Amino acid sequence: MRWSTTENLFQRQQLTPDEYETRRNQRYELDRFLGQYPLDTYRQWLALSNHLRYDFIEKLIPINGYICSAEVFDIPTHTKRTE
């Protein structure tokens, strides 16, 4: 996957073997501003996520193929703003 700055989404793309190897080698390079992640939670998530099957995950993915943290919509300009 690659980040599209024009669409602000990850775009699915097939990686070349070199790109794959580079990403694989960089997987432990973390942002220095990130906090410590609780490993107990990670281990539990890893154990649970190992039981997910691809066909089940495929049913959860929205029709457009994107999962976002918030619903994307346009706010009408004529709406009265409440304060």
Distance CA 1, CA 14 (A): 8
Residue 61 to residue 12: CA distance in whole angstroms: 14
Residue 81 phi, psi dihedral angles, 5° rounding: -85, 130
Rounded CA-CA distance 9/2 in Å is: 8
pLDDT tens readout for residues 10-21: 777 888 999 999
Diameter over CA atoms, the chain: 54
The token duo for 46 is: 């890893």
pTM for this prediction: 0.35
For 24-77, what is each residue's pLDDT tens digit? Answer: 888 878 777 777 777 788 889 889 988 988 888 888 888 877 777 666 555 555
d(CA 57, CA 48): 13
Residue of 45, 69, 65, 47 whose CA lies nearest to 57: 65
Please give the pLDDT value at position 72: 59
